[in-house]
Structure 1
Amino acid sequence: EMASAPAHHLRVRVLLVVLCAVSASASASFPWPWKRSGHDYRDALAKCILFFEGQRSGRLPADQRAAWRGDSGVSDGRAAGAGVDLEGGYYDAGDNVKFGFPMAFTTTMLSWSVLEFGDDMPREERRHAADAVRWGTDYLLKTLAHPGVIFMQVGDPWKDHECWERPEDMDTERTVYNVSAGRPGSEVAGETAAALAAASMVFRDGDREYAELLLDSAKKAFEFADSHRGAYSDDMDLRAGGCPFYCDFNGYQDELLWGAAWLRRASGDDTFREYIQNNGKTLGAEDSINEFGWDNKHAGLNVLISKEFIEGEALSMQSYKESADSFICTLIPESSSPHIQYTPGGMIYKPGGSNMQHVTSISFLLLTYAKYLTKSSHTVNCGDISVGPDTLRLQAKKQV
């Protein structure tokens, strides 16, 4: 229950990411605009990207389209006595708090969406999507700018949640929280590494210098996460600020593998693949956890890593393909294996708060895995039935 409030906030952003994905992937089969059953997915794509402009913190650019928003949080980091520049980034839905852990995950997911489906987006929307990614990464770079610490949050969430006001008018405390060697936060650092690595590929063709900066910074964030292992929720001061809103319920181990997987994809460096192979078992890669979201990366990790195996580039990663297949089979009602619960109307249902965060993130993985399978001869063996990419796309479309 404690996780339900922030999960509601975050699910809005994840929902928009999956709408971007389903909108863009639709163009592979239908010309723009793709409009079926009364749903204009091109319009949804445009609106979902525009949403992020309404969440911007800091000094807004001249080409800001959400003109009803003004500058806010321009002295973040400095006014709180921390003496650092933490202007920018995104507010967390209706809050005026900048939570670094879920913000980094949002940036990772936006980047992944652009990487997989950006070529199918209209040019202008692809540019707006990249701008949304950059607004996140510009801020994340600032959180890494000072040696020995990573800034993970701006704003006192308890006082902020008691006062509903526009960010332009906020007068609540802009408390700054950071992780360090003495009070580690591997999940924050690992997700930041994943976000910067994924984003580096978004900008590789258009701004190579910026892409290299992102990748270098991602490596530093990952080294920090791995060298100083621990969860920020184990520290009393950080727990007071981050919990129960975005407490690390699942542990930091999955973020280490997640960060390594994105660094492997972005850099092609075998070192990160070896890291996954050498540390996978101890970090829980073999755990049967069929979830994906801001706190739990397991299912997404399996889908991401399986790409190399499906493409025949890393046969040693077969176990991740098998885990991804197992996850997919839980989503197929006709499968003979145990599968996820559905509502009478056919929506994915997982007991607990904020069900839509599961629906949206799982739908994204369905679309992405379908894309990987399309480029190969692989299918998913779910006991009595064999499942192909068309089935996965149809399942994702039903959820959206």
Structure 2
Amino acid sequence: MAYSVTLLSWSLLAYPNGYQTTGQTDYARAAIKWGTDYFLKAHTALDVLWGQVGDGGADHAYWGRPEDMDIDRPSDKIDSQEPGSDLAGETAAALAAASIVFQDVDSSYSSELLQAAKELYELADNYRDFYYNAIGGASGYYLSSNWQDELVWGALWLYRATGDETYLTKGKEYIEEFGFLGIQYGWTYNFDWDDKRAGCYRNLRPLLAEIDGSDLYRETLRNYTIYLRNDQQKTPLGLVYIMQWGTLRHANNVGFIALRAAELGLDTDENVAFAKTQIDYTLGSTGRSYMVGFGVNPPVRPHHRAASCPYPPDTCDWAQESTTDPNPHVLYGAMVGGPDQNDQFNDDRNDYTHNEVADDYNAALTGVLAYFVQNNSQ
């Protein structure tokens, strides 16, 4: 959720006219504030952040309306005794990015967000560990691969929000400290909720390239996008294929990064064309749309509990999960996981690998759409 808020804020800051033209600015701010209000409430003390409500096993064993759920909902937190640098660092980034969004809209709220961002970044930086060691239930569902990327990511967003050179210096120093500067092999090409390295360091440094503008950061960003365009695996119909979970998410995530590179004057035409092929694929250029409620032959059975439930008082249970009937409710705008490496896709509610939806799936996608609206691309 924190990653999604960060990305939505980034896209609103990067492409404000895209949102304004489509009348989506207020909706975007409301979506961001929904998340940041939650984070503020979850930050109950200087060094405390409540990071999970619920139990993954119990939650997945329930199929029904969320408002009907009455099972136990245990809560878990991170703090200075049981830290979580990845969770605290990403939440700090989300709050810092959102503080910029609200700077000229609600200065008091913006200041509140920024203060919380600073506090959570201190928690992330001063007490370092994986968050799932404190919140054990997360390890089976949202296992974090590293926490170093969130320290850099959070520092860069705090620099953008504050202009305080301390954060920029810290971000640069951590790139070297964690051993990713100058690595030529073993690159990571995904960019998602778990791995921000493609967003700030190791191979791709769009934030640093935007902030610093040095040849080093620009060139590594350019090399990253060259690899994506020319060497990363693609499906026969042209979707960049990074991993089986959320194929379209990853394609549009890196598409967003390519557009940020284009905005910096790095292979502008090539990067825009690359991002456009990915969003066009998502919206139906190959014969079917993967966005629910939009375009030709969109998914009608996304793996989503609430959308699959009929209106009450009709029962909603596992029978709704297994039926082949379309969902009673159209989950407008949600992008499903997407096809496999051979462009094969079945609109099957049971196939959560390819037909699941999630807020982070749509996070960077929204920015890609805003770019093309803002730049009047067809």
Please give the TM-score of this superposition, normalised by the length of structure 2. Answer: 0.68
Q: 1:272 aligns with which of 167, 188, 195?
A: 167
Provide Cα deviations, 1:94-125, integer angstroms capped at 9, x if missing partner: xxxxxxxxx10010011011011123323631
| Residue 353 (structure 1) aligned with residue 245 (structure 2) | yes
Aligned to 2:197: 298
Q: 1:322 aligns with which of 219, 233, 256?
A: 219
Percent of aligned positions with the same letter in both sequences?
Answer: 37
Aligned equivalents of 1:319, 1:223: Cα separation in 2:
28
Q: Secondary structure at the match of 1:294?
A: coil
Aligned equivalents of 2:147, 2:85: Cα separation in 1:
6
Further displaced range: 321-330 or 216-225: 321-330
Q: How far does residue 350 in structure 1 lie from its aligned partner after superposition?
A: 1.8
| Residue 282 (structure 1) aligned with residue 177 (structure 2) | yes
Q: 1:232 aligns with which of 120, 128, 131?
A: 131
Q: How far does residue 162 in structure 1 lie from its aligned partner after superposition?
A: 0.3
Q: Contact (CA 8 Å) 1:257, 1:283: kept in 2 or not?
A: no
Aligned equivalents of 1:195, 1:351: Cα separation in 2:
25
Q: How far does residue 367 in structure 1 lie from its aligned partner after superposition?
A: 1.7
Aligned to 1:7: none
Aligned to 1:126: 25
Aligned equivalents of 1:319, 1:214: Cα separation in 2:
32
Q: Secondary structure at the match of 1:342?
A: coil
Aligned to 2:91: 192
Q: Secondary structure at the match of 1:153?
A: strand
Aligned equivalents of 1:197, 1:283: Cα separation in 2:
23
Alignment of 1:1-400 (within 5 A): 103-122=1-20, 124-235=23-134, 238-239=135-136, 241-248=137-144, 250-286=145-181, 287=183, 288-301=187-200, 302-310=205-213, 315=214, 318-333=215-230, 339-373=231-265, 379=266, 388-400=267-279
Q: Contact (CA 8 Å) 1:196, 1:215: kept in 2 or not?
A: yes
Aligned equivalents of 1:264, 1:309: Cα separation in 2:
11
Q: How far does residue 159 in structure 1 lie from its aligned partner after superposition?
A: 0.5
Q: Secondary structure at the match of 2:15?
A: helix
Aligned equivalents of 1:131, 1:270: Cα separation in 2:
30
Aligned equivalents of 2:75, 2:258: Cα separation in 1:
37
2:112 maps to a residue whose letter is L
2:212 maps to a residue whose letter is F
Provide Cα deviations, 1:131-165, integer angstroms capped at 9, x if missing partner: 10010001111111223321101111110100112
Q: Contact (CA 8 Å) 1:367, 1:393: kept in 2 or not?
A: yes
Q: Secondary structure at the match of 2:269?
A: helix
Aligned to 1:96: none
Aligned equivalents of 1:289, 1:303: Cα separation in 2:
15
Q: Secondary structure at the match of 1:163?
A: coil
Which runs of 5 or more residues in structure 2 are unaligned?
280-378
Q: Contact (CA 8 Å) 2:190, 2:242: kept in 1 or not?
A: no
Q: How far does residue 130 in structure 1 lie from its aligned partner after superposition?
A: 0.7
2:174 maps to a residue whose letter is N
1:327 maps to a residue whose letter is Y
Q: Contact (CA 8 Å) 1:150, 1:178: kept in 2 or not?
A: yes
Q: Contact (CA 8 Å) 2:96, 2:158: kept in 1 or not?
A: yes
Aligned to 2:343: none
Please give the TM-score of this superposition, normalised by the length of structure 1. Answer: 0.65
Q: Contact (CA 8 Å) 1:179, 1:185: kept in 2 or not?
A: yes
Q: How far does residue 284 in structure 1 lie from its aligned partner after superposition?
A: 4.2
Aligned equivalents of 1:351, 1:136: Cα separation in 2:
27
Q: How far does residue 351 in structure 1 lie from its aligned partner after superposition?
A: 3.9
1:205 maps to a residue whose letter is D
Aligned equivalents of 2:94, 2:179: Cα separation in 1:
21
Provide Cα deviations, 1:225-251, integer angstroms capped at 9, x if missing partner: 00000102334xx22x10221111x21
Which runs of 5 or more residues in structure 1 are unaligned?
1-102, 334-338, 374-378, 380-387
Say how many residue pairs are matched.
270
2:166 maps to a residue whose letter is T
Q: Contact (CA 8 Å) 2:156, 2:207: kept in 1 or not?
A: yes
Q: Contact (CA 8 Å) 2:222, 2:261: kept in 1 or not?
A: no
Provide Cα deviations, 1:253-312, integer angstroms capped at 9, x if missing partner: 0000000011111111100111122222122442533321010001111111111233xx
Bigger proportion of residues as strand: 1
1:319 maps to a residue whose letter is L
Q: How far does residue 391 in structure 1 lie from its aligned partner after superposition?
A: 1.7
1:304 maps to a residue whose letter is L
Q: Contact (CA 8 Å) 2:132, 2:139: kept in 1 or not?
A: yes
